[in-house]
Structure 1
Amino acid sequence: MSIWWSLHLRREAASVPLARRLLLGTMETAGVDPDVSYDLSVALSEACANAVEHGGSAGHGGSSEAYRVTAYLDGEMCRIEVADSGPGFARVQAVRPAPGEAEHGRGLCLIEELADHVHIGSEPGCGGAVVSFDKMLKWREDAPLMAV
């Protein structure tokens, strides 16, 4: 069983819980273990918050007012991708934890802790950041859409 969806959201703080609730609802309906669902929803919230905060600039026109979230549940794996139209990453470095007292800078580290595999890069050819992450799924015993 495969499920996928894609959202185009405005770069507004209110879009973050919307994406999170859709992901949690999808995984609950499919029968994904609640602990796995929670980890992925926190990682998604961090990626969306980054897109809202950093995902646009005046030089990118109207498209900088939106970002895209795509989620794939396919067999035993979930992949989530958050892409924006901002300046992207000049070069991808290893994600380093922010100092303990820092108010910002922990999101990407948290995503790496919660997911099994993380890719951070830029949209080919058009700029913009892309954060994608995968996690192996665990299923509830009564899962209606459990992978076979």
Structure 2
Amino acid sequence: MSIWWSLHLRREAASVPLARRLLIGAMETAGVDPETSYDLAVALSEACANAVEHGGDASSGYRVTALIDGDTCRIEVTDSGPGFAGRPRRVRGRPTTPRATRVRPGETPAGHPYDKTPAVHEEHGRGLYLIASLTDHVHVHNRPGRQGAVVRFDKILKWRDGGPPAAALLRAS
């Protein structure tokens, strides 16, 4: 058994807590440990806030898709903005501009703004860093033709002790 949902939201600040509440409700129903749910909720809030702030003109929306399948939760936030600015980097000795970048704490590729720990006094620039810190795997890329950005992240789930039967059904599938 899996739980899957997808939302198309307006690029408004009020959409961020709505997406977060839906995710927390799904996690609670499935029997996910509250600390794990909180980490995913913060990561989702950061991805949604980035889509609201950077995701294109005000009339465009963004999409949030979440999947709980077995012991993993995958969340993807897609917008229609300008996408991530790609900087050329060397891969196996030849210059390339990566279409996709895998971001993990301590293993981020050089040359991107989310490589480094944000300065304490900075007001912006923490979103992707927080997502990478709170989840197990992050994949960041632009949609074809730079028609928006995609931030996808996964987290291995921990279950509540004595969680509802849905947790056992999810783990059994």
Q: TM-score, normalised by structure 1?
A: 0.91
Report 1:14-53 matches (<5 A): 14-53=14-53
Residue 126 (structure 1) shift: 5.3
Q: What is the count of residue pairs matched by the alignment?
A: 143
Question: SS of the residue aligned with 2:45?
Answer: helix
TM alignment of 1:1-148, pairs within 5 A = 1-57=1-57, 62=59, 65-91=60-86, 93=112, 95=114, 96-125=116-145, 127-143=147-163, 144-146=165-167, 147-148=171-172
* Structure 1 contact 97–105 (Cα < 8 Å) conserved: no
Ranges of 4+ aligned residues in structure 1 off by more than 3 Å:
none
Cα separation, 2, equivalents of 1:85 and 1:117: 23
Q: RMSD over aligned Cα, in angstroms?
A: 1.5
In the alignment, is the contact (CA less than 8 A) between 1:57 and 1:87 conserved in 2? no
User: In 2, distance between residues paired with 1:32 and 1:137?
Assistant: 7
Three-state SS of the structure 1 residue aligned to 2:7 is strand
Q: Which has the larger radius of gyration?
A: 2
Q: Which runs of 5+ in 2 are unaligned?
A: 87-100, 102-111
